[in-house]
Structure 1
Amino acid sequence: MIRNYFKIAFRNLWKSKGYASINIVGLSVAFCISIFLFLTAYFQLSFDLFHKDGDRIFQAYLFSNNPEKEEKGSSMPMPLTPALKAEYPEVEAAARLMNGSSLVEYKGKYFDKQVMLTDPDFLKIFSFPMLKGSAETALNDLSNIVISQNMAKAVFGSEDPVGKQIQLGSDGGNQKQYIVTGVLGDFPDNSTIQYDAFIRIENHEGYQREKDHWDAMSHNVYLKLTPNADQASFEKRMKSFSKKYFADNITGLIKRGAKPDERGDIFAVRLQKLANIHFDKDISGGASSVTLIYALMGIACFILLIACINFINLSVARSFTRAREVGVRKSLGALKNQLFVQIWGETSMICFVGFLAGLLLAYALLPQFNATFKGKLTLAYVFQPDTLAIIFGLFLLVTLIAGGYPAWQMSKFNAVEVLKGKITLKRPGILRNSLIVTQFTLSSLLICCTIIAIQQVVFLRTQPLGFNKDQVISIPVGNKANGQQVLRRMHNELDNDPTILGISGSAVNLGVGKDHSTSRSVIGFTYKEKEISSDWVSVDYEYAKTLGIKLLDGREFDRAYPTDSLDRVIITEQMAKMIGEKDPVGKYFQTDTAGVKYQIIGLVPDFHLYSLKADQKPITLHLSHSESINYIFVRVTPRSLAGAMDKLKLVWKEVAPQADFIGSYMDENTDSWYKEEERLSQIFSLASGVAILLSCLGLFAVALMVIEQRTKEIGVRKVLGASISSIVYTLSEDFVKMVILSIIIATPLAWFFMQKWLDNYSYRIEISAWIFVAVGISAIVIALATVSFQSIKAALMNPVKSLKSE
Structure 2
Amino acid sequence: MLQSYLKIALRTLWKHRTHTLINVVGLAVASAACLLLFLTASFHLSFDRFHTKAGRIFQPYFLATDRDGSEKQNGSMPHPLLPALKAEFPEVEGVTRIRWSSGGVRYGDKTFSKMVRSCDPDFLTMFTFPMVKGEAKTALNDLGNVVISQNMAKDVFGKEDPMGKTLLLNQSGSWKNFVVTGILSDFPDNSTEQYDAFIRTENAAEYQTYKADWSHSDSGMYIMLAQSADRQAFEKKLEAFMQKYMGPSMKERQTNGYAKNSRGQQISLLLEPLTDVHFNTDLGGGGQGISKTYVYALLLIGLFILAIACINFINLTIAQSVTRSREVGVRKSLGAGQGQLMGQVWGETGLLCLVSLVLGLVLAYGLMPEFNKLLRTHLSLASFLTPTALLAIGGGLLVVTLVVGGYPSWVVARFNAVEVLKGKLQLNRPGLLRNALIVTQFTIACLLTACTLVMVQQLGYLHKKPLGLNQDQVISIPIGSDLDSQTALRQLRNQLAGKPGVVSVSGTGVNIGNGLDGNNSRYMYGFMYNKRELLCDWLRVDFDYLKTMQIKLLAGRDFNPAFSTDSSMAVLVSQRFAKQMGDANPIGKFIQPDSAKGKFQVVGVVADFNLYSLHRKAEPLVLHLDKNMALGYLLVRVAPQNLTEAMETVKAAWKTIAPKQEFNGSFVSENTERWYRKEQRLSTIFTTAAGIAILLSCMGLFAVALISIEQRTKEIGVRKVLGASVGSLVALLSKDFLRLVGVAIVLATPLAWWAMRNWLGDFAYKISMPWWVFALTGGLAVVIAFVTIAFQSVRAALMNPVKSLRSE
Provide the secondary structure at the position in 2 that maps to 1:511: coil
TM superposition outliers: structure 1 runs of 4+ over 4 Å = none
Q: Deviations over 1:601-658 (max 9, x none)?
A: 1111111110010122111111022321110111111113231111111111122223
Q: Which residue of 1 aligns with 2:355?
A: 353
Q: Deviations over 1:572-616 (max 9, x none)?
A: 111111121221110011123444011111111111110010122
List alignment gaps of at least 5 residues for structure 1.
none
> Partner letter of residue 289 of structure 2?
A
RMSD over equivalenced CA pairs, Å: 1.6
Matches within 5 A, 1:736-751: 736-751=738-753
Q: Which residue of 2 aligns with 1:769?
A: 771
Q: Which residue of 2 aligns with 1:381?
A: 383
Q: Which residue of 1 aligns with 2:276?
A: 276
Distance 2:720 2:410 in 1: 38
Q: May I ask how many residue pairs the two structures share in their alignment? A: 805
Q: Which residue of 1 aligns with 2:58?
A: 58
Q: Which residue of 2 aligns with 1:462?
A: 464
Distance 2:778 2:597 in 1: 63
Matches within 5 A, 1:724-803: 724-803=726-805
1:758 Cα offset (Å) = 1.1
Q: Deviations over 1:128-186 (max 9, x none)?
A: 1111111011111111111111111111111111111111128x971111111111111
Q: Deviations over 1:48-85 (max 9, x none)?
A: 11111101001111121345212210111111111111
Matches within 5 A, 1:384-783: 384-425=386-427, 427-783=429-785
Q: Which residue of 2 aligns with 1:19?
A: 19
Distance 1:544 1:708 in 2: 73
Distance 2:241 2:805 in 1: 91
Q: Contact 1:148–1:183 (CA<8 Å) still a contact in 2?
A: yes
Distance 1:594 1:513 in 2: 32
Distance 1:605 1:119 in 2: 42
Deviates more, 1:511-520 or 1:253-262: 253-262
Deviates more, 1:683-692 or 1:172-181: 172-181
Q: Contact 2:61–2:75 (CA<8 Å) still a contact in 1?
A: yes
1:27 Cα offset (Å) = 0.4
1:231 Cα offset (Å) = 0.9
Q: Deviations over 1:168-221 (max 9, x none)?
A: 128x97111111111111111111111110011111111111111111111101
Provide the secondary structure at the position in 1 that maps to 2:690: helix
1:142 aligns with 2:174: no
Q: Which residue of 2 aligns with 1:46?
A: 46
Provide the secondary structure at the position in 2 that maps to 1:322: helix
Q: Contact 1:102–1:112 (CA<8 Å) still a contact in 2?
A: yes
Q: Which residue of 1 aligns with 2:85?
A: 84
Distance 2:423 2:443 in 1: 35
Q: Which residue of 2 aligns with 1:265?
A: 265
Q: Which residue of 1 aligns with 2:175?
A: 175
Provide the secondary structure at the position in 2 that maps to 1:233: helix
CA shift in 2, pair 1:776/1:69, >3 Å:
same
Q: Which residue of 2 aligns with 1:201?
A: 201
Provide the secondary structure at the position in 2 that maps to 1:603: strand
Deviates more, 1:512-521 or 1:728-737: 728-737
Distance 2:259 2:731 in 1: 67
Matches within 5 A, 1:226-241: 226-241=226-241
Q: Contact 1:215–1:592 (CA<8 Å) still a contact in 2?
A: no
Distance 2:123 2:91 in 1: 17
Provide the secondary structure at the position in 1 that maps to 2:283: helix
Q: Which residue of 2 aligns with 1:123?
A: 124
Q: Which residue of 1 aligns with 2:225?
A: 225
> Partner letter of residue 242 of structure 1?
M
Q: Which residue of 2 aligns with 1:161?
A: 162
**TM-score, with normalisation over the residues of structure 2?**
0.97
Q: Contact 1:575–1:619 (CA<8 Å) still a contact in 2?
A: yes
Distance 2:241 2:577 in 1: 30
1:694 Cα offset (Å) = 0.5
Provide the secondary structure at the position in 2 that maps to 1:613: coil
Distance 1:730 1:395 in 2: 39
Q: Contact 1:607–1:616 (CA<8 Å) still a contact in 2?
A: yes
Distance 2:255 2:596 in 1: 23
Q: Contact 1:91–1:223 (CA<8 Å) still a contact in 2?
A: yes
1:262 Cα offset (Å) = 4.4
Distance 1:738 1:240 in 2: 61
> Partner letter of residue 39 of structure 2?
L
Distance 2:585 2:425 in 1: 87
Distance 2:405 2:562 in 1: 83
Q: Deviations over 1:213-252 (max 9, x none)?
A: 1111111011111111111111111112211221232022
Distance 1:252 1:461 in 2: 41
> Partner letter of residue 144 of structure 1?
N
Distance 2:321 2:627 in 1: 82
1:692 Cα offset (Å) = 0.4
**TM-score, with normalisation over the residues of structure 1?**
0.98
CA shift in 2, pair 1:516/1:326, >3 Å:
same
Distance 1:557 1:309 in 2: 67
List alignment gaps of at least 5 residues for structure 2.
none
Q: Contact 1:252–1:526 (CA<8 Å) still a contact in 2?
A: no
Provide the secondary structure at the position in 1 that maps to 2:718: helix
> Partner letter of residue 723 of structure 1?
S
1:248 aligns with 2:262: no
Provide the secondary structure at the position in 2 that maps to 1:552: strand
> Partner letter of residue 504 of structure 1?
S
Distance 1:375 1:685 in 2: 19
Q: Percent identity?
A: 51
Q: Contact 1:536–1:620 (CA<8 Å) still a contact in 2?
A: yes
> Partner letter of residue 254 of structure 1?
Q
Distance 1:116 1:480 in 2: 17
